[in-house]
Structure 1
Amino acid sequence: MTGDGTRAVRAGLPEAEPHEPTLPGPVFAAHYHLPGDATGPYTYGRDANPTWTLLERAITELESPDSGAETIVFASGMGAISAVLLSRLRQGDTAVLPSDAYQLLPALIERLEGYGVTVRTAPTANDAQLAALDDSVKLLWLETPSNPGLDVCDIRRLADAAHARGALVAVDNTLATPLGQRPLELGADFSVASGTKALTGHGDVLLGYVTCRDPESAASVRAWRKTVGAIPGPMEAWLAHRSLATLQLRIDRQSVTALALAEALTGRPEITGLRHPGLPDDPAHRLAAAQMRGGRFGCVVSFTLPDKKHAERFLTGLRLVDNATSFGGVRSTAERRGRWGGDAVPEGFIRFSVGVEDPDDLIADVLRALDGARTPADG
């Protein structure tokens, strides 16, 4: 059994060939030679690509190294999410989804309802509501830790409850990454993620993927990708595979620094609602510690400042942190999440994504910006 770092460095690499690169370059091809009646593994560029194959194999080795799982990569995380929901649900079905998940999920819910699918929602932290299933439910969708609230649900318990009713379970594993959490090992049928975030980690690739427990589910998701054409470019797939080699280094550094930042923010009078699953007194800590791997609680810290103006002053005062959306990159980012209007958060809510900067430098920058954001009335 190899460690996470070794697996990340070697994941998906082909057998060594003399005088060939360790990781072959991207294959740019719309079509392939097809002699006679042979179809072979590669026929047309919307169906498959050798660069995708290596990346899909690599992600599978990280998400579910000891099973017969299969991964399908997509042009974006939303492409991956849509593929699972729209390939598995039919008119008359019921799906249960979190009410506090990624902000574009409501748009997809509206689409599902337009197709005659009944959608029920419940908060991520409320396992009882999520587990209240009946025989009409065909799919339970989970997001843990949730974005941006950082709540956690019990994947194994909920998967058992769903399977007892004949429902499938999908888990958005974006924030945790496969080094922090393996949903299939906890009973899920699909592990879905935006590879745009921490998986690739450099803020320069849009990518998504679905890792499926069994071949039948994988075939359904793969057919959906082919039908709608939500395919990644070969360069994006190659960049993603290249980035996996540093995944453990990045995740471990970010997790440690995120916890240190959260601890440094504890007790700040202007901050309310401080959340990070690694904090011992965080509402999600006990479950996260049991469910997430290697003490990797993620790179995101969230908290709320008194109001919009206070939050904007804080963001403007940061020197080492980009005011940008997304998370999981090597450069720290922060944003006032309420600016998008899609999340049920206060106007002063900050989602902070910790990068790989020196922890002391980053924390000092944040504390200095917080001090500078105070007004005389704050004391």
Structure 2
Amino acid sequence: MAHDWGDGTRAVRAGLPEPEKYAAALPGPVFAAHYHLPGEPTGPYTYGRDENPTWTHLERAIAELEAPDPGSAVETVVFASGMAALSGVLFSQLRSGDVVVLPSDGYQALALLREQLEAYGIEVRTAPTGGDAQLDVLEGARLLWIETPSNPGLDVCDVRRLVKAAHSQGTLVAVDNTLATPFGQRPLELGADFSVASGTKGLTGHGDVLLGHVTCRDAGLAAAVRRWRKVVGAIPGPMEAWLAHRSLATLHLRVERQCANALALAAALAERSDVAGLRYPGLPGDPSYAVAAGQMRRFGSVVSFTLPDRQRAERFLEALRLVDDATSFGGVRSTAERRGRWGGDDVPEGFIRFSVGAEDPEDLLADVLHALEAAAAQ
């Protein structure tokens, strides 16, 4: 039964089975490669690569959080990682001769996918996220891939506008919602056909699970994605799926705290003369603020900025005490990194991607400001 609950209530109740006397509220992980299967294989669970009861609970939970409204019939397919989920959409929908539009400033691994797509005879076009520039290369595309806010530059595009243009010519739209999470933005509510995310990041939020998911309103699209998962075997382990579901209960709390901390950090950085290129979609005055405010409920936990050079950035990261130098984002513990070290993003050498955690804001701000002063003094 659908309920018009608030985000916090939805988070703690999502995907739970009907109460059963003496049973756990959230059943433990089901470890099974096969199931008892006498007679015709007509039941829901036949083989471990196809389905698992632990996935079922998690998929129902994420679908409840991604749904445009409580009565929406949406389907979620969970994967072993965000890249598996992303690949599940692209390779289940595209064929040789098709055209796909990708963001030129999106997730670094999109470049690897581009190579594979082109090897299969698929034409790949790219354009930046900002200014809805993907509209300029959209004509004739089978699929439009949107990443908003973009990673790591934090540009935002108008999802409704792009969806309208795409659907008017029969183009499907997928939105990478990793940075926002369903409590920051609901792509299906904005008209997208696919909402895709790495559950490794904010959805699970503890830096200990690799996971991904795809949510669709169209059952046929979901079936194609699910078939691709079966064919390539990109399935999550039951323990990972259970840990992810357990973590969803605190998603609302984590997102609220992290977004508040991110805004406080962005405001503090805006006062610094040694910080350039500051971006946070929730900061009034940010180039993306107006568009983001029209389609996002919360603005995410990632702040980006640039220090004068590579050396200053590295000294800043070394001086931090509450912040880990790591390459993920969305976790309860703050992390930061100099993105230029990977070589795949078009960013300055001193560019910092900062993932804001759930620490006390006073402690976090003090640590960051101290590290900035220490980096400048050397």
Question: What residue number does 2:116 align with?
Answer: 111
- 1:175 and 2:179 equivalent? yes
SS of the residue aligned with 1:53? helix
Which of 45, 52, 55 is the equivalent residue of 2:55? Answer: 52
Structure 2 partner of 1:142: 146
Aligned residue among 60, 63, 66 for 1:63: 66
**CA offset at residue 342 of structure 1?**
1.1
Q: 1:21 — aligned with what?
A: 24
Residues 290-311 of structure 1: CA deviation (Å, up to 9, x unaligned): 1001xx1100000000111100
Residues 196 and 213, structure 2, Cα contact 8 Å, conserved in 1: yes
Query: Cα deviations across residues 210-229 of structure 1 (Å, max 9, x unaligned)?
Result: 00121100000000000000
Equivalent position of 2:311 in the other structure: 309
Match of 2:42 in 1: 39
TM-score (normalised: structure 2)? 0.97
Structure 2 equivalent of residue 330 of structure 1: 332
- List aligned pairs for 1:214-363, cutoff 5 A: 214-293=218-297, 296-363=298-365
Residue 127 of structure 2 corresponds to residue 125 of structure 1: no
2:93 maps to amino acid: R
Cα distance in 2 for partners of 1:128, 1:333 equals 30
What amino acid sits opposite 1:19 in the alignment? Y
| 2:193 equivalent to 1:189 | yes
Amino acid at match of 1:234: P
Residue aligning to 2:208? 204
Letter of the aligned partner of 1:75 in structure 2? A
Return the letter of the residue paired with 1:268: R
Matched residues in 2 for 1:249 and 1:126: separation?
Answer: 32
Deviation of 1:126 (Å): 2.7
| Deviation of 1:192 (Å) | 0.1
What is the one-letter code of the residue matched to 2:313? A
Over residues 185-207 of structure 1, what are the superposed CA-to-partner deviations in whole Å (9 max), with x where a residue is unaligned?
Answer: 10100000000000000000000
Work out whether residues 320 and 362 of structure 1, in 8 Å CA contact, stay in contact via their aligned partners in 2. Answer: yes
* Cα distance in 2, alignment partners of residues 252 and 205 from structure 1: 21
Unaligned runs of 5+ in 2: none
- 1:145-156 equivalences in 2 (<5 Å): 145-156=149-160
Whether the 8 Å contact between 1:201 and 1:329 is mirrored in structure 2 is: yes
Is 1:30 matched up with 2:39?
no
Amino acid at match of 2:130: A
Runs of 4+ in 1 over 3 A off after TM superposition: none
CA deviation profile, 1:292-339 (whole Å, cap 9, x unmatched) = 01xx11000000001111000000000000011100000000000111
CA distance in structure 2 between the partners assigned to 1:66 and 1:252 by the alignment = 25
Query: Conserved in 2, the CA contact under 8 Å of 1:133 and 1:165?
Result: no
TM-score (norm 1): 0.97
In the alignment, the residues of structure 2 paired with residue 131 and residue 153 of structure 1 have an alpha-carbon distance, to the nearest angstrom, of: 13
Shift in Å, 1:39: 2.6
Shift of 1:375: 3.6
**Helix, strand or coil at the partner of 1:178:** coil
Q: What amino acid is aligned across from residue 57 of structure 2 in structure 1?
A: L
Q: Deviations over 1:124-179 (max 9, x none)?
A: 01314435422x31000000001100000111110110011101000000000001
State whether residues 124 and 130 of structure 1, in contact with CA within 8 Å, keep that contact through their aligned partners in structure 2.
no
Quote the residue 2:96 is aligned against.
91
Give the letter aligned to residue 161 of structure 2: R
CA distance, structure 2, for counterparts of residue 309 and residue 211 of structure 1: 42
In structure 2, the partner of 1:76 is 81
Residues 127 and 133 in structure 2, CA contact (< 8 A), matched pair in contact too: no
Are 1:96 and 1:130, in contact at CA under 8 Å, matched by a contact in 2?
no
- Uncovered stretches (5+) of structure 1, i.e. residues with no partner: none
Distance in 1 (CA, whole Å) between partners of 2:176 and 2:256 is 20
Q: Are residue 157 (structure 1) and residue 200 (structure 2) matched?
A: no
Which position in structure 2 is the counterpart of 1:365? Answer: 367
Structure 1 residue 3 corresponds to structure 2 residue 12: no
Aligned-residue CA RMSD in angstroms? Answer: 0.9
Identity level (%): 74
1:41-86 deviations in Å (ceiling 9; x for gaps): 0000000000000000000000014311100000000000001001
**What CA deviation, in whole Å up to 9, does each residue of 1:269-310 have, x standing for no partner?**
1110000011100000001111001xx110000000011110
Residues of 2 paired with 1:39 and 1:88: CA distance?
A: 27
